[in-house]
Chain A
């Protein structure tokens, strides 16, 4: 049986890679992929905890199903918006999206 720590370290690394991707990637589609990576890390965490910490109930597993569903919906919505920006700008580079200035 894989120790819980290994799974947690794995998911933490995955989460960190995702977070790095969100900040470092300039292509909006890749940014969304990085967000997916973060959400998948969450799903791994939840499944691992459901098996080890909370074996009588399904809370973690149910949570995982919802996380996956919501992540899919979020990605769909995000790509729709990316598509519309692309039609107006012919670019999905988040650095060039500058009609709004801080």
Chain B
């Protein structure tokens, strides 16, 4: 494969060039801005990423190579836009967290952008060296980001574990690539496909090389048995980076796996089908069973993300000789990955919003009563968890259904059965989190009940998200163990409170301690909204005109006598959570446009 340097079409890689410029702009701004204004870099990045998306969308429908190594087609444009959206989401949920928990947060944004560049290249790689470099670009950014919390021992240890296992896995991958290169004489995926068709898989070196490559990529997507780094790294990393790794890095890994297996090794699909079926079973079963025992939210979500990778592997197992079925499987995987990105970001975004106001706490039990302390955060997290579990109305149901339907068409009914059983298992530990948020009483609030203070400040589930709540009620009722949870949809009268003094905010966005002599508000003014399953009489009008319910957050670390100061959730976080919720419900309620888009993407992948 040869090309003429003077005739390269740089128009094809505009989004990559814009993103590269943005990386350097972010680092440049870091040098110029004072420490307290670092989150401005986050906003500049968000704006730049929107520009990137605007340059990527016109490439839809183009099918061309850049220098033979970067393939631009609907598949790569789809993943480009998905990763850029992910990066926007990560930026939005990072800003507050970085200000609070990360010292010298300036380089942070540039590193996230550099990693995103690597991910986009992974989805577009048409050659193994490019794929390797893209993977390392992502990995290097991740190593630094995981150990970004300099003074935190856990973060540093996670970084060390990650880089050791990452370096080990990339040397496995490289050794595999070198053997593949030795047996086939090329590193270009289309040439590999032609050689494999011609030569078959006679040489043992080829088999060894392929196994090593799959092992190396298995580390990236955290498939069992290459998953052991995941929980430790996810727990130790700063939470936005955990989110970044669990969604984007995984999706990018799968994008590369799909490119490699379908672009380069499609003729061998019969050989690897059984292998992926086995990996899928192991990955989802282990992920779900171990997740049940987790008490740390980050570890729980880490194991849940391992299980989600298992579901996507079901799609890889369903790539059969029948092109129509194989394309449906690819669409299912892409759809599930897209849904998973928004879903998991919703969970993590909500969890980050929680951590920001609760001193970085991370145990499941710390979430107790979140629905009343920060209603919108709890609502987002609940939607995310239900979507992960695959509840109808949420994205997770549609995407899993589509994916498993492809596997069923590929006559892998036993695998679908195992996947469905696993989804049911996963519901248990997702519901444990929902239970903490919606049924348990927030710590310290019991005391408040006794002295009458709690009535004025406890939040409630407000009427606006009636769609989500209405969806949650039947889902919960149908769920095993869900009988204890009974949400009632708030009517318009919920926000009855007007004479509440707690909503006043100081100029820095923090609540000033308002007058303590709040009158006892009779519970019946609320009409029983909120959470009758727990302490329905508490749910009433916190907030007031100053803090709307979706931006309200009451910290759990405050003693009751300090009157539960309320904080206004920053705009960036609210915007991020809204974006993720929109993604979840868009895919969950109206998936048709997304499937149309994927139609072209899956065809492009098979067209090679």
Per the bound structure, the CA–CA distance linking A97 and B160 in Å amounts to: 9
- 11 residue pairs of the A-B complex, CB under 8 angstroms, read A28-B164, A46-B181, A49-B181, A53-B182, A62-B129, A63-B177, A70-B136, A81-B159, A84-B147, A99-B153, A100-B158
Q: Is the CB of A54 within 8 A of B181?
A: yes
Per-position binary interface string of chain A over residues 22-66, scored 1 when its CB falls under 8 Å from any chain B CB and 0 otherwise = 100000100110010011011001101100011000011011001
Residues of A contacting B478 with CB < 8 Å? none
Closest 7 CB pairs of A and B: A38-B171, A49-B182, A45-B178, A100-B232, A42-B174, A35-B167, A53-B185
CB distance from A30 to the nearest CB of B (A): 11
Number of contacting residues on B, CB 8 A?
A: 41
Per-position binary interface string of chain B over residues 223-261, scored 1 when its CB falls under 8 Å from any chain A CB and 0 otherwise = 000001001100110000000000000000000000000
Q: Chain B: interface secondary structure?
A: helix
Residues of A contacting B177 with CB < 8 Å? 42, 63
Determine the interface band of chain A, counting residues with CB < 8 A from chain B: 35 or more
A49-B178, A53-B185 known; A99 vs B154 contact (CB < 8 Å):
yes
Residues of B contacting A13 with CB < 8 Å? none
Residues of A contacting B33 with CB < 8 Å? none
Q: Is the CB of A28 within 8 A of B171?
A: no
Per the bound structure, the CA–CA distance linking A73 and B166 in Å amounts to: 13
Least CB separation from A28: chain B residue: B160
The residue in A45, A62, A100 that gathers the most chain B C-beta atoms within 10 A of its C-beta is A100
Task: Give residues in A with beta carbon < 8 Å to B.
Answer: 8, 15, 18-19, 22, 28, 31-32, 35, 38-39, 41-42, 45-46, 48-49, 53-54, 59-60, 62-63, 66-67, 70, 73-74, 77-78, 81-82, 84-85, 88-89, 94, 97, 99-100, 102
CB distance from B65 to the nearest CB of A (A): 16
Per the bound structure, the CA–CA distance linking A99 and B183 in Å amounts to: 44
- Is B144 located at the chain interface by the 8 A CB criterion? yes
Least CB separation from A56: chain B residue: B185
Q: Is the CB of B181 within 8 A of A53?
A: yes
Per-position binary interface string of chain B over residues 445-486, scored 1 when its CB falls under 8 Å from any chain A CB and 0 otherwise = 000000000000000000000000000000000000000000
Per the bound structure, the CA–CA distance linking A35 and B163 in Å amounts to: 11
Per the bound structure, the CA–CA distance linking A35 and B161 in Å amounts to: 13
Interface residues of B in 115-147 (CB under 8 A from A): 129, 132-133, 136, 140, 143-144, 147
Per the bound structure, the CA–CA distance linking A15 and B175 in Å amounts to: 8
Per the bound structure, the CA–CA distance linking A85 and B159 in Å amounts to: 9
Residues of B contacting A54 with CB < 8 Å? 181, 185-186
Q: Is the CB of A59 within 8 A of B181?
A: yes
Residues of B contacting A70 with CB < 8 Å? 132-133, 136
CB distance from B440 to the nearest CB of A (A): 26
A38-B171, A74-B170, A78-B143 known, 20 other contacts, Cβ within 8 Å:
A8-B182, A8-B205, A15-B175, A22-B168, A35-B171, A39-B174, A42-B171, A45-B179, A63-B178, A70-B132, A74-B163, A77-B143, A81-B159, A88-B153, A89-B153, A94-B160, A97-B161, A99-B153, A100-B157, A100-B232
Per the bound structure, the CA–CA distance linking A9 and B182 in Å amounts to: 14
Residues of A contacting B160 with CB < 8 Å? 28, 78, 81-82, 85, 94, 97
Q: Is the CB of A41 within 8 A of B175?
A: yes
CB distance from A90 to the nearest CB of B (A): 12
CB distance from A55 to the nearest CB of B (A): 10
CB distance from A97 to the nearest CB of B (A): 5
The residue in B132, B150, B156, B159 that gathers the most chain A C-beta atoms within 10 A of its C-beta is B156
CB distance from A40 to the nearest CB of B (A): 9
Q: Is the CB of B167 within 8 A of A59?
A: no
Per the bound structure, the CA–CA distance linking A73 and B136 in Å amounts to: 10
Per the bound structure, the CA–CA distance linking A41 and B132 in Å amounts to: 17
Q: Is the CB of B182 within 8 A of A42?
A: no
A59-B187, A62-B129 known; A99 vs B178 contact (CB < 8 Å):
no
